[in-house]
């Protein structure tokens, strides 16, 4: 039986994805790579599909066979150590170097994302101006670094409009995120108008949680995303659903069935408490108009 960690499967799954991508970039088949590593093809499959934990030494050996650069090798060795952890609250910088974002890997593989956001428009639906204003407000960085981060976030957004199997994106957005004048009135007007337009896309559903609702589940949960992944032809999940919540010092990943069920239930309650899509679109238009003309 493959070795399994008692905690989150997220680091194993991500490590497997990165190693598979490196193997493919090296133009090696599973059989050829297994022969080079003196492993069975079955072991290769278990690693690449996140079915087993991995020693950092083995991750290093794979990276050498695949010709990976030193910074990627170091990152994957750190990630391999996390595959044996009982749980996973990881602080970005001490395991994964900047630009090697674990959540983005999950997001790109997901078939659906159910998101609740209380204070900011989520990155996948931000305008460039809103992104820039947010990064400047939350990070003390020079102009070059700010622009690099803006470009990275805007590139991420192609996920929702990609021609092949874009994910279903269901968003409940607090009215507070619309009313908070991030970047000023002109930026917010454009941002609200963009949300109205995005709400008309076939794979995007947006609901607004108005101030008038008062108490609701989102006040307890805080912002979160439930990610689900493609299913096989017989309906089996290719990966377990995962809950992601971004914290001040790190990012929380949950994939135990009981945890996912709790967040599924919370999202359903939040979704039902919010305005429906048509009323939400009207409110977003009204808020856009309240910011005045450019």
- For each of the chain's 294 residues, which pLDDT tens digit applies? 333 334 457 778 888 888 999 999 999 999 999 999 999 999 999 899 888 888 899 999 999 999 999 888 988 888 887 777 654 444 434 444 444 567 777 888 899 999 999 999 999 999 999 999 998 887 777 888 888 888 888 888 999 999 989 999 999 999 999 999 999 999 999 999 999 999 999 999 999 999 999 889 999 999 999 999 988 778 777 788 999 988 766 678 888 899 999 999 999 999 999 999 999 999 999 999 999 876
CB-CB neighbours of 285 under 10 Å? 14
| Tokens of residue 114, six digits | 């159910």
Q: What is the predicted pLDDT for the residue at 53?
A: 85
Query: Could you tell me the pTM of the whole model?
Result: 0.77
Distance of CA 288 to the CA centre of its chain: 27
Q: How far is CA 258 from each of CA 157, 220, 240, 254, 263, rounded to the nearest angstrom?
A: 30, 17, 12, 10, 9
| Tokens of residue 59, six digits | 């991750």
Q: What is the predicted pLDDT for the residue at 94?
A: 44
CB-CB neighbours of 271 under 10 Å? 18
Q: What are the backbone dihedrals phi and psi of residue 91, each rounded to the nearest 5 degrees, phi first?
A: -100, 120
For residue 183, what are the contacts with CB-CB under 8 A and spacing of at least 6? 129, 130, 132, 133, 134, 191
Number of H helices, E strands in the chain: 13, 7
Q: What is the predicted pLDDT for the residue at 85?
A: 61
Q: What is the predicted pLDDT for the residue at 238?
A: 78
For residue 278, what are the contacts with CB-CB under 8 A and spacing of at least 6? none
Question: Are 199 and 272 contacting, i.e. CB atoms less than 8 angstroms apart?
Answer: no
**Biggest alpha carbon–alpha carbon distance for the chain:** 67
Closest CA to 171 of 98, 92, 277: 277
Question: Are 257 and 237 contacting, i.e. CB atoms less than 8 angstroms apart?
Answer: no
Q: What is the predicted pLDDT for the residue at 88?
A: 41
Q: What is the predicted pLDDT for the residue at 249?
A: 64
Q: What is the predicted pLDDT for the residue at 153?
A: 85
Q: How far is CA 43 from each of CA 3, 11, 32, 53, rounded to the nearest angstrom?
A: 11, 17, 13, 11
């Amino acid at each position: 039986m493959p070795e399994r960690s008692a905690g989150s499967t997220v680091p194993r799954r991500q490590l497997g994805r990165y190693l598979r991508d490196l193997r493919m970039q090296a133009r090696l088949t599973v059989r050829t790579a297994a022969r080079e590593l003196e492993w069975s093809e079955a072991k290769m499959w278990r690693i690449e599909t996140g079915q087993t934990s991995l020693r950092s030494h083995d991750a290093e050996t794979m990276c050498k066979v695949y010709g990976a650069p030193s910074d990627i090798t170091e990152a994957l060795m750190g990630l391999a150590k996390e595959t044996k952890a009982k749980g996973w609250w990881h602080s970005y910088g001490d395991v994964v170097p900047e630009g090697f974002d674990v959540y983005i890997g999950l997001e790109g593989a997901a078939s659906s994302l159910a998101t609740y956001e209380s204070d900011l428009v989520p990155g996948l639906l931000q305008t460039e101006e809103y992104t820039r204003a947010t990064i400047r407000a939350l990070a003390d960085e020079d102009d070059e670094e700010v622009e690099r981060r803006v470009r990275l976030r805007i590139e991420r957004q192609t996920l929702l409009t990609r021609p092949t199997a874009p994910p279903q994106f269901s968003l409940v957005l607090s009215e507070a995120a619309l009313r908070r004048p991030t970047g000023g009135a002109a930026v917010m007007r454009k941002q609200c108008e963009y949300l109205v337009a995005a709400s008309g896309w076939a794979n995007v559903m947006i609901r607004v949680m108005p101030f008038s609702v008062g108490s609701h589940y989102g006040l307890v949960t805080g912002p979160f995303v439930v990610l689900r992944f493609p299913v096989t032809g017989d309906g089996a999940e290719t990966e377990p659903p995962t809950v992601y919540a971004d914290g001040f010092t790190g990012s929380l990943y949950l994939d135990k069935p009981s945890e996912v069920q709790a967040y599924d239930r919370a999202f359903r309650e939040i979704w039902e408490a919010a305005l429906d899509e048509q009323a939400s679109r009207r409110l977003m238009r009204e808020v856009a108009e309240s910011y005045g003309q450019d």
